[in-house]
Amino acid sequence: MNPAEVCVLLPAINEAETVGSVVAGFREAGFDEVLVVDGGSDDDTRTRAREAGARVVKQRGHGKGQAIRQAIDEEIHRPVVLMADADGTYDPSDAERMLDPIQHGRAEHVIGDRFANLESGAMTRLNKVGNRLANRVFGIIHGKRLGDILSGYRAFTRQSFQRYALSADGFGIETELSVEAVKHGTTVEVVPITYRARPAGSETNLHPIADGARIFATLYRLAKTSNPLFYFGSVGSLSLLAGLVIAVYVGVEWFLRTPPVSHEALTVVGAAAVILGVQLLVFGVLSDVIITANREQTRRMEQLVERLADDDEEPPKRKTAGSDE
């Protein structure tokens, strides 16, 4: 792909040890536009990024997600964005592989699969388990496997990005991007990449437990509009199951105990749990029908808008000599 069509986006905070080599790597790969969005570093991140040839802007808000939205909404005007981390874990030489599906029209959004070539020490056992579990949950909710939904190495068109409703400020942005891509029917391709260990002396900004909890909370929250049957049905099923367990216990206590034990309060709780569970399941089914119809209507509207835009770009046909006036 022509590098003049691509902007390399590197969100960064306190990455002075690595940002220079990362920027230099992408510059050596032929990319003349490397944008570093600095999230308020208190080290030499901005200086070293500029020295390596990057354009540096200061982030107004906080978190990786906000940095990405700010960059694409205000700073990037090229049609394709190649996004990576500034910590040296992603290999700039994989950029050509990442951009190939977009160049040849096979995809609008490309995800780099870190597990295809995961170097020793690049990921802790806890992170591996968390990533695998997140991918599994994503597949259950959305019925589609994307290989590595938490990968930070991505390529996408600005046009596809602008269709998404993104709100995550932190590391949940990768989860949101994956969910929105599936929800909007964006063509996605997963390509193998190399994922390296952090260079010695650099420190990660990821907190596995806290950020992992936010990621799973984001997956569940986004299911409300992408798969409401799962969103309401999962809680409804648990409530229904709890109510049935209570009902069985109360029944055993009443019919098999001598003298019978009534458990009036527990009976009320069990009945309420069953009613709540059934209501949530029904609400999930109805919501799923509404969301599906709305999604189809939105897809048709997007197709119509794109068709009208293409028609506006076509030059008017010139009349030939002898044609009717």
Q: What residues does each domain of the chain span?
A: 3-226, 228-311
Over range 149-156, report the average pLDDT. 95
pLDDT at 258: 77
What confidence tens digit (pLDDT) does each residue in 277-287 have? 999 999 999 98
Cβ density class 62-90: b for 16+ within 10 Å, e for less: ebbbbbbbbbbeeebebebbbbbbbbbbb
Confidence band for 314, pLDDT divided at 50, 70 and 90: low
Over range 183-203, report the average pLDDT. 87
CATH of domain 3-226: 3.90.550.10
Rounded distance between C-alpha atoms, residue 276 and residue 282, angstroms: 10
Beta pairing class for 154-157 and 80-83: antiparallel
Residue type, 190: V
Q: Which residue has the higher pLDDT, 170 or 46?
A: 46
Q: Compute CA distances 138 → 220, 221, 223, 292, whole Å.
A: 9, 12, 9, 18
DSSP type of residue 316: P
pLDDT at 201: 67
What confidence tens digit (pLDDT) does each residue in 200-251 have? 766 777 777 888 888 888 888 888 888 899 899 999 999 999 999 999 999 9
Confidence band for 324, pLDDT divided at 50, 70 and 90: very low
Percent of the chain past pLDDT 70, that is, above it, reads 94
The least confident of 70-84, 124-138, 197-211, 303-317 is 303-317
